[in-house]
Amino acid sequence: MDEFELIDRLAGRLKEMGGSPISGVVGIGDDCAAIPHEGGLMLLTCDIAVEGRHWLSGRTPLEDVGWRVATANASDIAACGGSPAYALVSLGVPQGWDPVLLDSLYQGLAEGASQYGFQIIGGNVSTAQELIVDLFMVGTANRFVSRSGARPGDVVMVSGPLGDAAAGLEVLKELDPMKPMESLPPYGAALANGWLRPKARCDMAAALAKHATAAIDISDGLSSELNHLAKAGEIHLAVESARLPLSPALKAFAQHKQTSPLDWALHGGDGYQLLFTCPPDQQTLFAPLGAIPIGQVKSGTGVSLDGRELPPGGWNHLE
């Protein structure tokens, strides 16, 4: 059972055990849950990071771990058209851990809070076999942007270059632990920094809330998120490979590895760009924010790349 099968199973069990749906509440199935609040919406999300699973032990500064956890949650809020407001942090801490290391973790969390405009107002702590960081975030929105609103005729767009963070993780895995980051070639340093310090596209939230018909963040890879969007909206997404935005650093890395940069762009996650749809006459409004059209929404089901089926790939939390 993979991540998404487990989510479907748990969602089904909750539905069996729960009561009638509450009007205005958005539950399982989007990047955030949402609750009506003071004429708008309160957005709720959480994200967990486990040492050895979500970061490279001994090669990832804990400041960057804190930043990445903050970014993952802020990205979910942005994908639903909202702004981060508050967060709670739960920690699983191995016995014997140096408190100074946790100071470094919280430095990164604080930097993320400053960047994205939220406050950390509490949390919880327990012992664990490895370091675990779980962030629960609350945000606000005037309109909820779901995964299910795309309609035939809409344009498919992404907020910026794809695949850099996934390639950056590969760069870090290959880096000799005894060598500093400065020893990397320029393209390697750029990609590694893209994984260590990804940026949530909170700058796009207001535009999404006004003009997007559907949205999702690209945390698990473009091919995976395209399929989520298609399934949620019961539509077909037709994407063109020539339109996918690829950075010069990714192209240089792919040439060095003798691989296709498209593989990283399609199946690499952790970059926290946004995938969304909008009416054709609205797409130019996103251009100043760096967004790029990559395809069209059509009738049907599934995802195609250059006319051929594109199955989901990318990151799966239970594999």
Same domain, 127 and 45: yes
Per-residue pLDDT tens for 35-90? 999 889 999 999 999 998 888 887 789 999 999 999 999 999 999 999 999 999 99
Per-residue pLDDT tens for 148-160? 999 999 999 999 9
Counted domains in the chain: 2
Same domain, 191 and 113: no
Task: Tally DSSP H helices, then E strands, for the chain.
Answer: 9, 12
Same domain, 161 and 129: no
Q: How many CB atoms lie within 10 A of CB 114?
A: 11
Same domain, 10 and 84: yes
pLDDT at site 259 = 94
141, 163, 198: which is the final residue of a domain?
A: 141
Same domain, 167 and 281: yes
Q: What is the percentage of the chain residues whose pLDDT exceeds 70?
A: 91
Same domain, 117 and 246: no
Residue 148 placed within a domain? no
Same domain, 289 and 193: yes
pLDDT at site 12 = 66
Residue 14 placed within a domain? yes
Alpha helices in the chain (DSSP H): 3-17, 62-79, 99-116, 164-174, 186-196, 205-211, 222-233, 248-257, 261-267
Residue 150 placed within a domain? no
pLDDT at site 317 = 46
pLDDT at site 227 = 96
pLDDT at site 7 = 61
- Domain coverage including residue 188: 155-309
Per-residue pLDDT tens for 57-70? 877 899 999 999 99
pLDDT at site 53 = 83
**Least confident segment among 100-104, 139-143, 248-252, 280-284:** 100-104
